[in-house]
A and B are shown apart, each in its own frame.
Chain A
Amino acid sequence: MDRKAAAAAARASRREAWERSFSPGALALVGAALSLSLLLMPSPAARAATLAAAAAAAWASGRKLSPILTVSVMAGIVGANLLVPLGRKLYVWGPIVITEIALREGLMKAITFEALVFISKACLGSRLRLPGGVGRLFASALRSYDRILAYKGKIRPASFIADIDEALIAVYAETGDTVGAEPASAGRKAGDPWLILPVLAAIAAALLVP
């Protein structure tokens, strides 16, 4: 097995273990609570710690992560904030000026941005069942999405639009009376009660760490 396939297989098994341990509803609620707590944390160090923990959780949940993307996005956010100098000059290199307040705000924004991304990645998934009409529509859209992906017909560049039209007609015909069906909920899982721990930690960090 080559490296990419091995990595994908490892991710898949982590994802299975994660989904066995936690129910999607509980995870979603925890994700919302953690995100809110993060936004209320005044301390950059606390937010950075949350970022690390969330990244670890996202990895454990079997999501595909790209450290390079994360670092470059954070660098971009910090860089953009540094473009408008503000505060005490910390470092000057030619035209580049790094100032204290701009740097602090840039770091804070970058850390917060990625922490929220990782919390979302760890806590959300397509198995989540939303309530009400929106939920039913979403569930049926997911089923149609699967059918689109499974379409076997060919799309050639020469007859691009005609081929797409064929595909649309074919897949649309398959979407029958499935919209009304209420999707089954996943039920409680063994790991759910443990999810309260990260929430308590985050709330404590928001309230206690200056």
Chain B
Amino acid sequence: MRGAADRPGPVRRFAARFGATRLDAAFIAAAAAAFIASAMLIYGGPSSAYAVVSTDSGEWVFPLAEDREFVVEGALGLVVIRIEGGAVYFRESPCKNQLCVGAAPVSSPGQWSACLPSGVFIRVEGGAAEEDEFDALVR
């Protein structure tokens, strides 16, 4: 008579009852891994970053992930803003000093860019939050 130590484990018995194989188990494990990986990546990852453009007439939201060019109406005329390579910047502006167009593109949450004469402001929201964030840095 077989003692308790000789009987195959419960998993083996379960598998034998159904005729399941080792490869079946491997596939199930792979599927479970894919499920967990997707859950971690999609639900756990940082939310994507957005460019939020504000003027007197309203606010616009565009994801930084996709290259795009768009036009908003500023106080002095049409302002062209471009999103490229995950960063956003002023491409054209009717202002006199053109400081906005010359400024570096911004891409991290909390960073901002502005064309003060036009009253057009760009800020970056969302994305990976940094531990110590400052509202403004004086260099």
A88 / chain B contacts, CB cutoff of 8 Å: 58-61
CB-CB contacts below 8 Å: B28-50 with A: 50
- Secondary structure of the B side of the interface? strand
Closest to A90 in B: B58
Closest to B58 in A: A88
Q: Which of A9-17, A79-87, A130-138, A144-152 contacts B (4 or more CB under 8 A)?
A: A79-87
Instruction: Tell me how far the C-beta of A21 lies from the nearest C-beta in chain B, rounded to whole angstroms.
Output: 50
A99 / chain B contacts, CB cutoff of 8 Å: 60-61
A127 at the interface (CB under 8 A from B): no
Closest to B126 in A: A85
Across the interface, do A89 and B63 meet the contact criterion of CB distance under 8 Å?
no
Closest to B60 in A: A88
- Secondary structure of the A side of the interface? strand
Q: How far is it, in angstroms, between the C-alpha of A84 and the C-alpha of B62 when the chains are bound?
A: 9
A128 at the interface (CB under 8 A from B): no
Residue in B50, B59, B61, B63 whose Cβ sees the most chain A Cβ within 10 Å: B61
Instruction: Tell me how far the C-beta of B127 lies from the nearest C-beta in chain A, rounded to whole angstroms.
Output: 14
Q: How far is it, in angstroms, between the C-alpha of A97 and the C-alpha of B59 when the chains are bound?
A: 11
Interface residue range, chain B: under 10
Q: How far is it, in angstroms, between the C-alpha of A184 and the C-alpha of B60 when the chains are bound?
A: 61
Across the interface, do B58 and A85 meet the contact criterion of CB distance under 8 Å?
no
A97 / chain B contacts, CB cutoff of 8 Å: 61
Across the interface, do A86 and B63 meet the contact criterion of CB distance under 8 Å?
yes
Q: How far is it, in angstroms, between the C-alpha of A84 and the C-alpha of B66 when the chains are bound?
A: 12
B59 / chain A contacts, CB cutoff of 8 Å: 88-89
CB-CB contacts below 8 Å: A60-113 with B: 84-89, 97, 99
Residue in A87, A89, A97 whose Cβ sees the most chain B Cβ within 10 Å: A89
Instruction: Tell me how far the C-beta of B13 lies from the nearest C-beta in chain A, rounded to whole angstroms.
Output: 19
Q: How far is it, in angstroms, between the C-alpha of A91 and the C-alpha of B71 when the chains are bound?
A: 21
Across the interface, do A86 and B58 meet the contact criterion of CB distance under 8 Å?
no
Q: How far is it, in angstroms, between the C-alpha of A47 and the C-alpha of B58 when the chains are bound?
A: 29
Q: How far is it, in angstroms, between the C-alpha of A89 and the C-alpha of B50 when the chains are bound?
A: 13
Closest to B62 in A: A86
Instruction: Tell me how far the C-beta of A84 lies from the nearest C-beta in chain B, rounded to whole angstroms.
Output: 7
Instruction: Tell me how far the C-beta of A62 lies from the nearest C-beta in chain B, rounded to whole angstroms.
Output: 43
CB-CB contacts below 8 Å: B50-81 with A: 50, 58-63
A86 / chain B contacts, CB cutoff of 8 Å: 61-63
Instruction: Tell me how far the C-beta of A140 lies from the nearest C-beta in chain B, rounded to whole angstroms.
Output: 32
Q: How far is it, in angstroms, between the C-alpha of A152 and the C-alpha of B62 when the chains are bound?
A: 61
Chain A residues close to B by CB (< 8 Å): 84-89, 97, 99
A/B interface sample: 20 pairs, CB < 8 A: A84-B63, A85-B50, A85-B61, A86-B61, A86-B62, A86-B63, A87-B60, A87-B61, A87-B62, A88-B58, A88-B59, A88-B60, A88-B61, A89-B58, A89-B59, A89-B60, A89-B61, A97-B61, A99-B60, A99-B61
In the complex, besides A87-B60, A87-B62, 4 extra interface pairs with C-beta distance below 8 angstroms are A86-B62, A88-B59, A89-B61, A99-B61
